[in-house]
Structure 1
Amino acid sequence: MRTVGLIVEYNPFHNGHLYHLQQSVKITKADAVVAVMSGHFLQRGEPALADKWTRTEMALRGGCDLVIELPVAYSTQAAEWFAYGAVALLGATGVVDSLCFGSESGELGPLRRIARAVANEPEPFPRLLAEALAAGVSYPAAYSAAVRRFMEAAGDAEAAAYPLAQPNNTLGLHYLLALERLGSAVEPCTIRREKAGYAQATITDARIASATAIRKLVAERKSPAEAAPYVPASTLELLLRAAAEGRGPVGWADYERPLFHKLLAEQAGTLGEYREMSEGLEHRLARVLTRLPALDFKSLLDALKTKRYTRTKLQRALLAVLLGHRKEWLTPNRLRDGVRYIRVLGFTDKGRALLRRMRQTARLPVLLSAARPPEPYPFLELDVRASAVYALAWRDAGPEECFRDYYGKPVTL
């Protein structure tokens, strides 16, 4: 059974995702689809619009056969570690043959050459990166600049000109870097992103819109029904069900009170212990808090943003405070060691067959629940706590809802 792997957030699963999934199956001639999906908190430092079990059902009804969770230790990281954790999990299943990702360019060749050239950060790449950072730009911009200069020096003009500033191209590069660093046999391929950019907030097509634009539309008009033209019928049904049950749509505004409680109770010195608090951000945050026009998330972001501190970095830093993620828990060495388990969120009948195969092929324990793991897994405990915090946004959430990771079973279709 040929199996293609996808790395997803599905926030929410929309028509563009459906196109990508269908094309991935077609291009790779796959018989089954395994998705590594972020849980309740996402790569841009945001809470998911809908909980991970609702989004798992979206994925299964959209054509995925097995959904496994990317731990929050990786799902809320910058591109390098987000990609590393997801690629490592796909490889650890032992059943995934290929990885298919979306990109703005749709070209794999230049990206693979860049990945092979810089995977081990040979000289002078670290120096070029340090010089770019010293100019005061954000890390993604500095990384792109360093790659461009490195590939120019290597005489590869096509790779040097590759548009790494575009977010899906950047993520694609980090998927390929992870494959190189892990020595993975999974074969990569890419599909050109069509009709809507990754963070495009405006809608320019009758059926295709970015997840960013869909979330913005739902938030502005205060109804999941507004997403109807841009999502499969099953996604709309699940969004409406979650809203009727008081479990969504969820956004940063739902966590303002617990976030500001933590920010106001901490001193700048202790704020500096949280992940992503670097380059003096904790001191800037402490100063900004004293002169905000209002204690709301948007005002805080607007006041903190600078050329170096992008909104995404700031959101990730504030999320680390909300979730209590300290730097020493998520060091590069700990992240490099990888996930120690495969957490199953849901599966179809075909996915059940994949799980049977994984009994022989998986390099890590396969967990159907967070209850009674074979050994303590620190990253799994972070996921359980993240789920409990996420449930604070729900109407009338009790202990069983907060700790569904312990009580619940995988979604089956």
Structure 2
Amino acid sequence: MRTVGLIVEYNPFHNGHAYHLRQSRAIADADAVVAVMSGHFLQRGEPALVDKWARTEMALAGGCDLVIELPVAYATQAAEWFAYGAVSLLEATGVVDAFCFGTESGKLAPLMLAAELLANEPAAFKDMLKLRLDEGSSYPGAYSDAVSAYLHRQGHLDASGFPFDQPNHTLALHYLLALKRIHGVMEPLTIAREKSQYNDEHATDASIASATAIRKQLLDSRSLQEAGAYVPFSTQAVLADRWAKRQCPVSWDNFRIALFNAILTRTPSQLADIHEITEGLEHRICNSMPQLTEATIDQLLTALKTKRYTHTKLQRALLSIMLGHSKADFTRDKLATGVQYIRVLGFTEKGKLLLRRMRKAASLPVLLSAARPPASYRYLELDTTATAIYMLGVSGANSASMYRDFRGLPIIGQSPGDSPL
């Protein structure tokens, strides 16, 4: 059974994701699809629109056969570690033959060349990166500029003009770097994004829109109606169910009290020990709080914004404060050891067959729940804490929902052809 892997957030699963899934299966000539999916908090430092089990239901109904969780320790990171965690997990399953990701261009060769040259981060490249950071560039911009400059210096003039700074190109490069660094054997594949790009805030097509645009519609209108044209019926059904239970849409506003409590109960020195708090940001946060005319997260982000700190960087910093992520848990050495387990969120009948193979082929233990894990699984502990905090921001939170990681079993889904949705 040839299998293709996808790295996803599905926030929510929409028609563009369905297209990517079908195309990935086709170009990989795959019989099955494994998705590694972020949990309750996402790469841009935001809470998911709806919980990870609802999004697992969407993924299975949309064509995935097996969904595994990307731990919050990697899911909420910048591109380097987000990619490293996701790629290493797919590789660790032992059943994924290829993995496919979307890019703005659909071109793999320039990205492969850059990954080959930069996998060990040559000293000259590090110097170029430091120079651009010292000039005041944000890290993503500085990194992309340094990649282009290094390729130009190495004589790869065509590749040096490649737009590495585009969001999907940046992620793709880090996927390939991760594959090199773990000596992975999966085949990398890419397809071009169609009709909408990663950060597009408005829909420009009749049926395809970015997840960003769809979330904006849902949050602005507080209605499922406008987003209906851009998501499969199965996604509409899952959202409608959670909407009726007042369990979505979830946004940063749901966590205002939790975040402000986490800030106000820490001193600047305690904030400085939190992951993502760098270069005196702890003082900027503490000084900004009394200046807010409204106690909203949007106003706090606006007060903290500088040229050096992107909106996403600040969201990640605030999320780390709320979740209690300490610098000690997020050192490069600890992150580089990778995930210690494979957490299964859901599967179809075909996924069950994959799961049987994975139990024999995987290089890591396969977990169906968080019950009785080894004490050394620190990142799993961070996941269960993240679930409990996320559920505190959802209407009707109770013990069962807060501790579902321990008590719940994976979602058993149906393939699209069999699904009543």
**Shorter-chain TM band:** over 0.9
Mapping for residues 126-165 of structure 1, pairs under 5 Å: 126-165=126-165
1:97 corresponds in structure 2 to: 97
Amino acid at match of 1:110: P
After TM superposition, the structure 1 stretch with the greater mean CA deviation from structure 2, 62-71 or 157-166, is 157-166
1:187-336 correspondence runs (5 A) = 187-336=187-336
| Superposition deviation, residue 400 in structure 1 | 1.1
Distance in 1 between the 2:411 and 2:227 partners? 23
Distance 1:256 1:148 in 2: 40
What secondary structure, in the 3-state scheme, does the structure 2 residue paired with 1:256 have?
helix
Q: Distance in 2 between the 1:335 and 1:224 partners?
A: 39
Distance (Å, rounded) in 2 between the aligned partners of 1:374 and 1:275? 24
* 1:375 shift after superposition: 5.3
SS at 1:209 equivalent: coil
Question: TM-score if structure 1 supplies the norm length?
Answer: 0.99
CA RMSD of aligned residues (A): 0.8
Deviation per residue, 1:57-100 (Å, 9 max, x gap): 10000000000000000000000000000000000000000010
Distance 1:226 1:336 in 2: 42
Q: Which amino acid aligns with 1:232?
A: P
> Counterparts of 1:54 and 1:223 in 2: how far apart (Å)?
18
Distance 2:266 2:144 in 1: 35
- SS of equivalent residue, structure 2 residue 64: coil
Deviation string 1:262-304 (CA, Å, 9 cap, x unpaired) is 1122222211111100111111111111211211011011111
Q: Paired residues, what number?
A: 413
Residues of 1 paired with 2:373 and 2:349: CA distance?
A: 24
User: Secondary structure at 1:290's aligned position in 2?
Assistant: helix
Amino acid at match of 1:127: D
CA distances 1:164-211 after superposition (whole Å, capped 9, x unpaired): 111001000000000000100001010001111101001111100000
Q: TM-score normalized by structure 2?
A: 0.97
1:114 aligned partner: 114
Distance in structure 2 (CA, Å) of the matches to 1:379 and 1:92: 16
The residue type equivalent to 1:141 in the other structure is G
Q: 2:419 maps to which residue?
A: none
- 1:395 Cα deviation (Å)? 1.7
Alignment partners' CA distance in 2, 1:323 and 1:259: 9
The residue aligned with 1:381 is: 381
**C-alpha contact 1:225 1:240 (8 A) present in aligned 2:** no
Q: Please identify runs of 4+ aligned residues in structure 1 that moved more than 4 A.
A: none
Deviation, structure 1 residue 245: 1.5
Task: List per-residue Cα deviations over 1:219-266 (Å, max 9, x = no partner).
Answer: 110123331000000001101101112211100000001111111222
Question: For 1:185 and 1:93, how far apart are their aligned partners in 2?
Answer: 12
1-structure distance, mates of 2:182, 2:190: 19
How far did residue 374 of structure 1 move? 4.9
**Structure 2 match to 1:354:** 354
- Report the Cα distance in structure 2 between the residues aligned to 1:341 and 1:97, rounded to whole angstroms: 19
Identity %: 58
Equivalence for 2:31: 31
Q: Determine the C-alpha separation between the residues in 2 that align with 1:317 and 1:217.
A: 26
Mark the runs of 5 or more structure 2 residues left unpaired by the alignment.
Answer: 414-421
Q: Which residue of 2 aligns with 1:60?
A: 60
- 8 Å CA contact 1:224, 1:249 repeated in 2: no
